[in-house]
């Protein structure tokens, strides 16, 4: 069987169409019509990705997203009729990896699923494993794990890729557009502002004081750069 994908959607027609397209690409599909059901499934299944509708009958999609993030770091694609840029950015701030607005093309959704899963499974990031500032921060691209002061830090696949891109070129200033292209692999309207939400999440997880970041600096009017010192890679063993 293929990678298991959970579709959380109370509109059975939409869920069925998405299921058919995904199964046609070899994925194993599980469906849920309610948020609580989705959370229960996620706690029992080893999911590769979740497609989450934000308008559910029993819980808000945002609440479901938060609970799913506590269960695992599998990618989450939000599927919703909410199209305002502020709402998209709010979705990314909750830990979503992508955002598809209804009405949508099933083929586009499948392409997004493949792109997100490719990012989450990538093992060959060119920067290799990084030790930063005497090992205070470590980025292991083989296991896709990050640790701070020896403690594991849970990042979403998109957050991990953004951090890896920044840390892979210390002191280089990346525009938001460049981060979208480098970290996500594609562009579409509204994604550049989402980078700010992802950066905020990363800072909350790796910085001692996210309001005065040491590692990820804002270059006003341009984008972001990584300011940490990369250790001698031989020290990683």
Boundaries of every domain in the chain? 4-121, 130-236
The lowest-confidence range among 26-30, 166-170, 175-179, 180-184 is 180-184
What does the alpha-carbon distance between residue 200 and residue 215 come to, in Å, rounded to a whole number?
Answer: 12
Would you identify the CATH topology of the domain 4-121?
Rossmann fold (3.40.50)
Whole-prediction pTM: 0.62
Q: Are 131 and 235 in contact (CB under 8 A)?
A: yes
- Report the pLDDT averaged over residues 173-189: 74
The pLDDT, as a whole number, for residue 7 is 97
Cβ–Cβ contacts within 10 Å for residue 24, how many?
10
Statement: 130-236 belongs to CATH 1.10.10.10: yes
Using a CB cutoff of 8 Å and minimum separation of 24, what contacts does 181-184 make? Answer: 183/119, 183/158, 184/115, 184/119, 184/158
- Report the pLDDT averaged over residues 13-35: 94
Query: Strand pairing of 137-140 and 145-148?
Result: antiparallel
Q: Are 46 and 23 in contact (CB under 8 A)?
A: no
The confidence band for 101, taking pLDDT boundaries of 50, 70 and 90, is confident
Q: Are 8 and 35 in contact (CB under 8 A)?
A: yes
Q: Are 164 and 142 in contact (CB under 8 A)?
A: no
Q: What percentage of the chain exceeds 90 in pLDDT?
A: 45
The pLDDT, as a whole number, for residue 124 is 41
- Report the pLDDT averaged over residues 93-106: 83
């Amino acid at each position: 069987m293929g990678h298991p994908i959970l579709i959380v959607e109370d509109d059975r027609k939409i869920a069925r169409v998405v299921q058919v397209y995904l199964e046609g690409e070899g994925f194993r599909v599980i469906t849920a019509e309610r948020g609580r059901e989705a959370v229960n499934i996620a706690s029992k299944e080893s999911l590769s990705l979740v497609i989450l509708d934000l308008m559910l009958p029993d819980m808000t999609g945002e609440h479901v997203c938060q609970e799913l993030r506590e269960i695992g770091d599998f990618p989450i694609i939000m599927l919703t009729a909410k199209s305002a840029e502020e709402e998209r950015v709010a979705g990314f701030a909750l830990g979503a990896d992508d955002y598809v607005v209804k009405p949508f093309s099933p083929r586009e959704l499948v392409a997004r699923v493949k792109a997100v899963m490719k990012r989450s499974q990538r093992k060959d990031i060119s920067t290799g494993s990084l030790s930063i500032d005497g090992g205070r921060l470590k980025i292991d691209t083989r296991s896709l794990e990050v640790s701070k002061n020896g403690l594991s830090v849970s990042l979403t696949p998109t957050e991990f890729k953004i951090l890896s891109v920044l840390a892979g070129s210390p002191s280089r200033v990346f525009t938001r557009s460049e981060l979208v292209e480098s970290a996500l692999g594609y562009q579409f309207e509204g994604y550049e502002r989402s980078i700010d939400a992802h950066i905020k999440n990363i800072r909350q997880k790796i910085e001692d004081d996210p309001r005065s970041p040491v590692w990820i600096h804002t270059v006003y009017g341009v984008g972001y750069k990584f300011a940490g010192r990369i250790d001698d890679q031989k020290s990683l063993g």
